[in-house]
Structure formats: C-alpha cells, structure tokens
A = this chain, B = another copy of it.
C-alpha cells in the first residue's frame, strides 16, 4: 500500500531536461512537489523561474511556488547560457503561454530552509542544476542536513568523461565551490552522474508520442525537445537526448531504482587546475562487486533497474493524455 506522497523541493535551471524532470515529478504519485528554486546554469536563475512557472501553468499546476535563487556562483560570475543546447530561452525556443504567476519573494536558499523546517525532516531535495542554492542554504542553516530526508543530485562523472572538460560535468563545473560545500555536509546524497544519465535516452519515437497527444503540456514538451535532440546528434549519431535531470527525478521519486550505487568518498576539485569541477568518486575496490565504504554518505549511481524512457512516457501519458 503506497504511503503519503513525500514532499519534494526541486532545485533547477530550466532547461529542457529540467522541463522533463519537472513533468516527471508532477506526474509521480509518490511525490508532492511543494516548492521549486532556480539557479543560473542552462539559463539565468530568473529565466529558469519564468520557464518553470510557464510549464507549471501549462501542466495545470500553477500553484506550486517558485523561488528565484542565485544568479552567480559562490565565487566569480555566471558564465552565460548555452543556447546551442537548450535554445535561447532555455526551453528550445518554444514560446510557452505566459503564466500569470510570479516567483515568490523569497530567495531560493531561504525558501529551501523554510520548507525543510516546515516538513519536519521529511523533505526530499532534488537538485538538477549547479549547487549554489544548496550551498547557500547550508550557510544560512548549518543544521539543514538534519532537516531533510535525502538529497539527490544530477551531476558529475565518475568513470566516464565529463561534458564541459575532460573530467567535469556542467552542473558541478558551474559552481565547484558550492559543490564542495554540499558534498562535505553531513547528509545522505545520491549522485546521479553522466555514467548513468548518458545511458538513458529519449528517442524520436518517444517525442512523436508526446507530439501526438491531445494535451498542450505534453505537446509543449515534445516541441521543446526538438532543439535538444539536434544537439545530441554528435554524441549518439542520431536525434535523441540524454535524460540527465529526469533520471535524478525518477530515482528521487522511487520510480527507478539504482542497482549499482556504492557509497564512496566523493571529493570536488575546486582548484584552478585542469581537474576543476571534477567529482572524484573513490571507486577503488569495486572490481569484485559494489562495496559501501565505511563512513561514506554519498551513493554514486552507476546502474539502474530499468530504462527510464518507457517508464517516463507511461507516467506522463497516464497523468495528462
């Protein structure tokens, strides 16, 4: 018998795959999405909030509060958006119907701390952008790790190349200092790295199903994905996309279960050297099977029980089609 839905805070930089992750969480019966914060990454934090509000309205959920978070990383300045990946507006250059709802007045870090306190230790945090808001929330409330139930992070690369350098993944590389704070804090983390997100793809056949539905939100998602599908041709040799953020959402919700996910020490490279932004996951000693290292609090997801795309599509169609 399913229990009550778990309260979830989503931290994102919406973003095309963020949009799909948002859709997954809205469609998931295990989840009560109680708040969303945005951070600069794929787009600015302000644009990400705009996109998120528009998507929520289109999905019929305009009441979920959205807080704008950090524009700049802890150190330095925001490096700019990635229009060749996510389109100029972050949602594939699709003009979504404008929501009439505004972001809440609170900063995302303050908002996260308040939600954690309100939900008495039950809040699940899902972070699919740079970790600036989480780091600032830890500064505001050092007791935060005891106030949330778990944290799931899309980011990093353990045993595969990075996507913005030989070794660094974009979310972590966009604010390594924040990531260092987040990974050093005493909470249970689940890291969903490129190792596993790149193995989960949405294909043109799935996108056509979304476009063929009667629901404007699903049709919107299908249209948004068009630009993103172009970007991945170089990587996969065909149109399609990695399901980075949706996989983290699905693991946090419990719809997808990690099968190889050892708890190991994870250290962030926040030097100015060639490894800046790397998630150094100490996966030594795993050759004979997945082994949790004593004292390690971060599980690094290297394999899951099922491909995400069909499960994702089922959820979206069950909810909106």
A282 contacts B by Cβ under 8 Å:
yes
B contact residues around A272 at 8 Å (CB): 271
A283 touches which of B161, B282, B283 (Cβ 8 Å): B161
B contact residues around A275 at 8 Å (CB): 167, 269, 271, 273-275, 278, 280
Find out whether the CB atom of B267 lies under 8 angstroms from the CB atom of A237.
no
B contact residues around A265 at 8 Å (CB): 166
Interface centre among A270, A273, A285 (most CB of B within 10 A): A273
Q: Name the interface residues of A154-195: CB closer than 8 Å to any CB of B.
A: 159-163, 165-167
Q: Is the interface of A mostly helix, strand, loop or mixed?
A: loop
With A160-B159, A275-B280, A284-B161 already in contact, the answer to whether A267 and B166 are too (CB < 8 A) is yes
* Nearest-Cβ distance from residue A244 to partner chain B, whole angstroms: 15
**How far apart are the CA atoms of A285 and B285 in the complex, in Å?**
28
Q: Chain A interface residue count: which class?
A: 20 to 34
* Nearest-Cβ distance from residue A183 to partner chain B, whole angstroms: 11
Find out whether the CB atom of A161 lies under 8 angstroms from the CB atom of B237.
no
**How far apart are the CA atoms of A75 and B234 in the complex, in Å?**
42
B contact residues around A288 at 8 Å (CB): 235-237
B contact residues around A284 at 8 Å (CB): 161-163, 166
B contact residues around A267 at 8 Å (CB): 166, 274
A46 contacts B by Cβ under 8 Å:
no
**How far apart are the CA atoms of A280 and B280 in the complex, in Å?**
12
Find out whether the CB atom of A282 lies under 8 angstroms from the CB atom of B161.
yes
A-B contacts, 29 of them at CB < 8 A, read A159-B159, A159-B160, A159-B161, A161-B283, A163-B284, A165-B282, A166-B265, A166-B267, A166-B280, A166-B281, A166-B282, A166-B284, A167-B275, A167-B280, A198-B287, A235-B285, A236-B287, A236-B288, A237-B288, A267-B274, A269-B273, A269-B274, A269-B275, A270-B273, A271-B271, A271-B272, A271-B274, A273-B275, A275-B280
Given A166-B267, A268-B274, 4 additional A-B pairs, CB 8 A: A236-B288, A237-B288, A271-B274, A271-B275
